[in-house]
Chain A
Amino acid sequence: MRTLLAALLVLLLGSIAHAERLIVSVSNHRVTVTPNYSGEELVLFGSVEKDATTPADRTAYDLVVTVMGPRADMVTRRKERTFGIWINTDYRQFLQVPSYLALFANRSFDVITSPEIARRQQIGLNNVLLTQRVSGDYADVVPNDAFRSAFIRLRTQRGLYREDASAVTFLTPTLFRTGIPLPAEVPIGTYEVEIKLFANGAFIGKTETAFEIVKVGFEQFVATTARQNGLIYGLVTAAMALMTGWMASIVFRKD
């Protein structure tokens, strides 16, 4: 923590300022998920750098941090009562949506900026683009669409989508930090972090960083083998079943 801050300060002092700049760093660029991984929290540090061109009256900044996990296609299905039982009837396909999505800010989104800018900059879960395939067309729908809100609700329940308008804290007027919680069932892959800076409701700049989540160990090996060498995996599992059965018949042999 302290070394990180120190590194950050060195970075700050050494950089050449020519506009309002954002300098950020995450506490760990490579998170390894081990078999007993039960969730973790990354820390994002950053600083807003002013220079001579910065208006003097600009003292308070607002920040919105967006963390997006690897993208995937997902299907949301809805059950309906048919012939007395509950059956999946309707569905929507969500195309290349983030498997993990977190939006953090230092105060509530509607105070930071106008609805118009929030929509354009995709601020808030309601404004993030979630493309759906609607009868051959590709488009996002209104935020209160039943499938869209159910999708966000279910992902939020699993801790994979989140929105927290008080997660970003300013340590000084220009130095900030935020925690990025990663739940146990976090998807592996590359995570993009976008930091957007606002002042007096106006969007004044952004920067990006990234981190990577990798699974290591036996579990990952099993999962990869199952996907890539299905036949060998199946044969090994079958052999394992036979071995276990055979051993049991020897161990518990009655005569």
Chain B
Amino acid sequence: MQLYLPIADLPVNVFLVLAMGAAVGFVSGMFGIGGGFLMTPLLIFIGITPAVAVASVASHIAASSFSGALSYWRRRAIDPALASVLLCGGVTGTALGVWTFTQLRALGQLDLMIALSYVVLLTTVGSLMFSEGLRALMRTRRGAVPPRRTHNWIHGLPLKMRFKRSKIYLSVIPIVIVGIVIGFIGAIMGIGGGFILVPIMIYVLRVPTSTVIGTSMVLTLVTMLFATLLHAVTNHLVDAVLALILMVGGVTGAQFGARAGQKIRGEQLRLLLGLLILSVGVRFAIELVIRPEDLFTIRELGVSG
């Protein structure tokens, strides 16, 4: 069934998009991530311009992270204090990100920046996660106990605050900075950033695993809602019809993914996720290096008359 997307200005097959939403939802439910880093490239792949893809995926991630955040809230697995400090940074970062997005678009370098950010971020995070997963897998094979590091320099920073539910005592500076970074890259790349945020919170900020996913979902939810709003106001690029199809597919797929994820061990899960992220990054890298089919592109600057 063909459906005309009003903003993307493109007819698409509803079932194809629905299936894509479900597939990405499955993966995101399995690994407990938003899945934006998979969804945006897929949309670009079926012919939607990177700008519209990034802007529309933001609302899709907002939907899936809201359903996630609700269930974590019921389980009291969200630290409200930590979430609000993260949000201070997150909202600032998103605003900066959308502003940069608009500037790059005017310069004609947006597509390049999106591709470059994907290459850099995904290959880095992917290989880190993959190697970490491998090491963890080896350790469990050998039956060794994972080494536990003590406090690092981040815990020496001023402006400390007590986060009761997470049971940590931490400076707000690194938390706000993390929020800004995630909000910024999220708005430019059309990703929630959960796959970066969760490792940072665990390894750098030492947030206990009990509250880490729920709290990161709150940040994702608010930054993505804000990004949707800003993209709609400044660039008019959010395709609500596309977003709705993705949301419906995504939230359904996520439920099945979550069930599948419980059957796989943590280390294997990390290894798989690392591999997945790495391969998306490599795909973008290849695209940049090989000679494009057509060296020319046209962009319409709005029809008048």
Contacts and interface: CB of A to CB of B under 8 A. Distances in A.
A219 interface: yes
A248 B252 contact: yes
Interface in A144-167: 147, 150-151, 153-155
Contact of B108 (A77, A99, A236, A246): A77
B59 A238 contact: yes
B168 interface: no
A246 B229 contact: no
B59 A241 contact: yes
A151 B296 contact: yes
B48 to A, nearest CB: 13
A79 B295 contact: yes
Contact of B67 (A36, A37, A150, A245): A245
B109 A87 contact: yes
Given A76-B296, A230-B232, A248-B255, A240 B301 contact: no
Contacts of B254: 248
B6 A220 contact: yes
A189 B289 contact: no
B305 A241 contact: no
Interface stretch (A15-23, A41-49, A200-208, A221-229): A221-229
Nearest to A230: B233
Nearest to A36: B2
B60 interface: yes
Contacts of B63: 240-242, 244-245, 248
A244 B9 CA distance: 24
Contacts of A28: none
Given A233-B232, A234-B238, A246 B303 contact: no
Nearest to A254: B71
Contacts, number: 197
Interface stretch (A65-73, A108-116, A117-125, A171-179): A65-73
A154 B298 contact: yes
A153 B297 CA distance: 10
A131 B170 CA distance: 61
B228 A80 contact: no
Given A35-B3, A75-B298, A220-B6, A85 B238 contact: no
A230 B236 contact: yes
A245 B240 contact: no
B296 A237 contact: no
A10 interface: no
B156 interface: no
Nearest to B243: A237
A249 B70 contact: yes
Nearest to A253: B71
B6 A238 contact: no
B143 interface: no
A138 interface: no
Most chain-A CB neighbours within 10 Å: which of B60, B68, B108, B234? B108
A77 B225 CA distance: 33
Nearest to B229: A234
B177 to A, nearest CB: 26
B299 interface: yes
B254 to A, nearest CB: 8
B88 interface: no
A143 B68 CA distance: 58
B43 to A, nearest CB: 16
B288 A85 contact: yes
10 contacts: A72-B300, A72-B304, A79-B296, A219-B4, A234-B230, A241-B59, A245-B65, A245-B68, A253-B71, A254-B71
